[in-house]
Structure 1
Amino acid sequence: MNLYVLFVSALFAFNSIDCLNILAVMPHMGKSHQLVFEPLFKKLVENGHSLTLITRYPQKKPVPNWTDINISNVEYNSTEIVTFDSLTGTRLDRYLCSKLLASFAYITCEEGLSHPNYLNFLKTDQHFDLVLIETFNTNCFMGVAKKFKVPIIGIHSGEWMPWLHGMFSRTNNPSYVSDHFLGHSDSMSFLERVENTIFFFINQFVYDMFLARQGKQLSKDITGVDLEEDMMKNISLLLINTHFTLNSKLPLSPNSIEIGGIHVINQPINPLPKDLKKFIEEAKHGVIYMSLGSTIRGDSLPEEKKRAFLNAFSRLKQRVVWKWEGEMTGKTPNVLIYRWTPQRDVLCHPNVKAYIGHSGILGVMEAVDCSKPILLLPLFGDQFTNAINIQRNGGGIMLHWNSTNEDAIYDTLQKLLSPKFEKSAKDLSSRFKDRPLAPMETALYWIHYVSRHKGAPFMKTAAVDMPFYQHYLLDVIGFLLVIFLTSFYVIYKSTKCTLKLLCKRPHQKIKKS
């Protein structure tokens, strides 16, 4: 009976939702950003909605009700674009991350906005019911939202960017919310809070003066669309790929919805390629999987570091699958190099025991979903924050890149392969998946909610439109300080005069000798 009621309720809910014509905008050159939301896009079209996607990565096979607007430059490689010689391995990488994102944003905007397919799309007379737009490092594609004048939902594939807080909920109190790039925990020392507070202001300044201003200028110069100052604040809702069991714990506003793990939780696991399956299943003591992601070229790894990993792997009983481009010299017999692997399918194989990764949010969530402990090697961006959060929650151990050597790698892997860490990884995975509603269903519900309620402007907090000094009560603090100091001064002068009168004695003249 209960199943029947649920079925009828679900059928009624589906029939009560009009089929929407949705425009999605995923312009960033990092393919992993789109991979997070492709399952959501596919679920939307499966449910009868139509989707038009502005992308650098069109579908290889046609998908019903799905249209791609391809803005890619076929001569430009959008994956594996960062090499190790561009990273110092020091704190300087964290400080310069905003600059790196600004350069990525310029390429994204200049190439994407000027692409003939995009310009032709802007000239078409189409109707959309909703816009899903990536909120990462630029506002330059907000012209589509201005053109179609429909509710906008932001989608973000990783941790909160420093400037996103001001657009949605203003929850980034630097006393306990670590800057996106610095990688502090939520329990910071005094000096860490000083550094965190300084970067809070610096990153907001960088966004306002460079990223946002650059995006508006490029939009106006290339497409002729003039973006207003507060265009990003017109976004009704943010669907963000985070979850409090893994990421920063924030007091979120109603229009900030966590859907962390939408690309992995309840998604199917596919069979492995035959050679990879054979290598993994014939490993008597299990397998360790290593990948430094789709953005960094693994084969640019310095020879010293490569040798440290190979020497550490040679001391293990386990086999190792290593994502690597090209040939590898000095490879040990227990190592298999693989150009591209179906990463989640590998991680969820029962004979895979641990994961070595760069702490990108996609790989981290895949490993947690598959209950695998992680050796965390953060290199840039949000990876430092991801790594410290996973370590704090018992999902792995972080190694700083400059201190990574053969013994450190081997000793850390021995800890991760222990029964204690195996249980800890399973416990974290259980907490990550334990929700009232799966992330896919959560995202679908709120997309329909925003559409039903015409953008749901009532979900926004007043803090979003407050000036900086009002939100942080600087005017109130200043006013109270003036009142306090004035009162203190009046009391001081009154007390001084009173005491002077009380203590006054008859004045005696002193004769001069």
Structure 2
Amino acid sequence: MNPGLVLLLVCLLSSIASSAKILASIFSPSYSHQIVFRPLWRELADRGHHITLLTTDPMRDVSRKNIKEIDLSGSYEVMESFGNSDILSKKRSEGTPKVILEMEILDVLAKVADWQLGVPEVRNLIRNRSEYFDVLIVEALNPIHMAFAERFNVPFIGVSPQEAPIRIYTVLGNYVHPVIFPEPYLPFSPPLNLKQRLASVAFNTITWYYQYHWRYPQETAIARKHFGNIRELQQIEREMSFLFINVNPTLQQTRPVGMNTIYLGGGMHIGEVKPLPEELQDYLDSSGNQGVIYFSLGSNVKSSRLTGNLLDVIVSTFSALPYKILWKFESSLQDLPKNVKIIKWAPQRDLLADSRIKLFITQCGLQSLEEGIFNEVPMVGMPFMWDQPGNAKTLEKKGLGLTVDIMNLTKDSFTKTIMEVISNPIYKKNVVELSKLMKDVEKTGLERAVWWTEYCIRTKGAKHFRSGVGGVPSYQMYLLDVMLIVVIACIITTLILVMSVVLCYRICFRRGRSLKLKRS
């Protein structure tokens, strides 16, 4: 037989033997959450694996035949039917506390997950008894889709497009502490002062109670509606094999983690720079040497839903600036200043790569922050909710720019902030230095994600990496029961000593008194 043909057959058989069936679900109706992991799906497919992907933003890449996408784009319409944009944009800009809004969004997301699992193609997948998979990759922020792990009896990898909440770190048995590592949704950056420490502990206590006594029961009920009589979701969640987190320790706080927690380094979704559309290129060209300011509130917060006061401050500030402004805005805007151009969508990564972008005004979503850093653009943060306030604190702490408070924004303060970041070279210098640090890695995030995914498949869940700490209650973790016993023991010992001294004193006093009486 032809040796070349034999070699080809061996390679082909080897490829078939090593290929796996992967079920992947990125549940969040958010483009920024979806694009982070697209390179992973493509690379796994290129390595011969077969992927069934549940996504709200299908890639529709016909060149990769071994990626089957289940289209959940209707999730956006479901979100809007429950007032998603008003919650994230209008209510927040009106001053509604973000904690209340975040609880509202969690309720909306649970309803979205309920709708997703009822989509005919998803329902058929759940009911198909001949279907099987080797591993599940699932977004960890919401546990409902983790029920697929029990349905197909497979190990699963949790993925997070941003810093993970304490709840997820706890599941993996990683070290957690509300003061040293505050919840990423809090606008705190360690070291915390006394007021912040109290707030962080209170927030953790309240969210823990809310999660375990409200969210888990509600989410488990939704999962059982579609998957039948499965275990409670918090039990399934504890069996997570790996956690992939899209953060970089040079930007976020470094923390001790176990072998099953993999940092992807951030920026995994940032690919090669592509040419800009002609309209955008012409606009940048028309700015000359002065450059352009780019303003975007991301894919979730809608500029068109901002309240009149905040919107008026932004428009009046832009009209007075000596720069051209490129504003991602979802609809038309009356009385648009002459130096402002509105676009409904922008190729943000490619746009920020152009040297004529002098400033990026951002809501401080993690992916936007990463793109600003990778492209070495100073930033002004305008955070709204979720992890954005915390990211904004990091932005300032690292000297990459400044932030503004949407609750107290004025034309004067906004103008001063913008001009300070553009004119002061220290911000450009800092962002260039941090960009170099973030890119200087032993392995890319994509390489790490692929290797550990295949390792999880090879080892059938890498159970030897699981920590026994994951199921330990907080009172045991922080030695509260031990300290209570020690305190009680100390109190009892002290009481015994005091009582002994009193008793000795009384005995001695009585003897002395008896001797006096006898002598008299």
With structure 1 as the length reference, what TM-score do the two structures score?
0.90
- Offset at residue 89 of structure 1 (A): 5.5
1:326-373 superposed Cα distances (whole Å, 9 cap, x missing partner): 212222222111000001111111111111011111111111111111
Give, in whole Å, the separation in 1 of the partners of 2:150 and 2:123: 15
Give, in whole Å, the separation in 2 of the partners of 1:17 and 1:272: 42
Q: Is the 8 A contact 1:140 1:215 kept in 2?
A: yes
Equivalent of residue 278 in structure 1, options 279, 282, 294: 282
Give the corresponding residue for 2:6. none
Give, in whole Å, the separation in 2 of the partners of 1:460 and 1:96: 35
Give the corresponding residue for 1:3. none
SS of 1:401's partner is coil
- Whether 1:65 aligns to 2:69 is no
Give the corresponding residue for 1:4. none
Q: Is the 8 A contact 2:380 2:403 kept in 1?
A: yes
Q: How does 1:240-251 map to 2 (within 5 A)?
A: 240-251=245-256
The one-letter code matched in structure 2 to 1:475 is D
Give the corresponding residue for 2:326. 321
SS of 1:197's partner is helix
SS of 1:327's partner is coil
Give the corresponding residue for 1:506. 513
Give the corresponding residue for 2:37. 37
- Whether 1:475 aligns to 2:478 is no
Q: Is the 8 A contact 1:31 1:78 kept in 2?
A: no
SS of 2:470's partner is helix
Equivalent of residue 82 in structure 1, options 80, 85, 92: 85
The one-letter code matched in structure 2 to 1:46 is D
Give the corresponding residue for 1:54. 54
Q: Is the 8 A contact 2:245 2:263 kept in 1?
A: yes
Q: Is the 8 A contact 1:32 1:362 kept in 2?
A: yes
> Matched residue pairs, number?
495
**Which ranges in structure 2 are unaligned for 5 or more consecutive residues?**
1-10
SS of 1:193's partner is helix
Question: Are the structure 2 counterparts of residues 460 and 22 from structure 1 closer, same or farther at C-alpha, using a change threshold of 3 Å?
Answer: same
Q: How does 1:339-354 map to 2 (within 5 A)?
A: 339-354=344-359
Give the corresponding residue for 1:194. 198
Q: Is the 8 A contact 1:178 1:184 kept in 2?
A: yes
Q: Which moved more, 1:34-43 or 1:302-311?
A: 302-311
The one-letter code matched in structure 2 to 1:495 is V
What is the CA RMSD across the aligned residues, in angstroms?
A: 2.4
Q: Is the 8 A contact 1:168 1:233 kept in 2?
A: yes
SS of 2:191's partner is coil
The one-letter code matched in structure 2 to 1:390 is L
Q: Which moved more, 1:150-159 or 1:496-505?
A: 496-505
Give the corresponding residue for 2:127. 123
- Offset at residue 238 of structure 1 (A): 0.3
Give, in whole Å, the separation in 2 of the partners of 1:489 and 1:279: 82
Q: Is the 8 A contact 1:98 1:203 kept in 2?
A: no
- Offset at residue 416 of structure 1 (A): 1.2
Give, in whole Å, the separation in 1 of the partners of 2:44 and 2:426: 41
Question: Are the structure 2 counterparts of residues 60 and 167 from structure 1 closer, same or farther at C-alpha, using a change threshold of 3 Å?
Answer: same
Question: Are the structure 2 counterparts of residues 23 and 75 from structure 1 closer, same or farther at C-alpha, using a change threshold of 3 Å?
Answer: closer
Give, in whole Å, the separation in 2 of the partners of 1:392 and 1:213: 39
SS of 2:37's partner is helix
Give, in whole Å, the separation in 2 of the partners of 1:434 and 1:335: 37
Question: Are the structure 2 counterparts of residues 236 and 415 from structure 1 closer, same or farther at C-alpha, using a change threshold of 3 Å?
Answer: same
SS of 1:96's partner is helix
Give, in whole Å, the separation in 2 of the partners of 1:176 and 1:373: 28
Question: Are the structure 2 counterparts of residues 75 and 354 from structure 1 closer, same or farther at C-alpha, using a change threshold of 3 Å?
Answer: closer
Q: Is the 8 A contact 1:40 1:262 kept in 2?
A: no
With structure 2 as the length reference, what TM-score do the two structures score?
0.89
1:211-270 superposed Cα distances (whole Å, 9 cap, x missing partner): 2211211121233242345100111000011122222332222211111424345x1111
Give, in whole Å, the separation in 2 of the partners of 1:333 and 1:190: 48
Give, in whole Å, the separation in 2 of the partners of 1:73 and 1:88: 27
Give, in whole Å, the separation in 1 of the partners of 2:311 and 2:132: 53
Q: How does 1:153-192 map to 2 (within 5 A)?
A: 153-192=157-196
- Whether 1:495 aligns to 2:496 is no
Give, in whole Å, the separation in 2 of the partners of 1:71 and 1:316: 42
Give, in whole Å, the separation in 2 of the partners of 1:77 and 1:394: 39
Give, in whole Å, the separation in 2 of the partners of 1:105 and 1:53: 19
Q: How does 1:173-322 map to 2 (within 5 A)?
A: 173-228=177-232, 229-265=234-270, 267-283=271-287, 284-322=289-327
Equivalent of residue 113 in structure 2, options 98, 109, 130: 109
1:150-202 superposed Cα distances (whole Å, 9 cap, x missing partner): 22100111122242122113433012222232211111111211111011111
Q: Which moved more, 1:284-293 or 1:41-50?
A: 41-50
- Offset at residue 491 of structure 1 (A): 2.2
Give, in whole Å, the separation in 1 of the partners of 2:114 and 2:437: 42
Give, in whole Å, the separation in 1 of the partners of 2:306 and 2:147: 40
Q: Is the 8 A contact 2:293 2:360 kept in 1?
A: yes
The one-letter code matched in structure 2 to 1:31 is Y
SS of 1:332's partner is coil
Give the corresponding residue for 2:7. none
Give, in whole Å, the separation in 1 of the partners of 2:478 and 2:448: 32
The one-letter code matched in structure 1 to 2:122 is Y
Question: Are the structure 2 counterparts of residues 465 and 36 from structure 1 closer, same or farther at C-alpha, using a change threshold of 3 Å?
Answer: same
SS of 2:431's partner is helix
Give, in whole Å, the separation in 2 of the partners of 1:487 and 1:121: 64
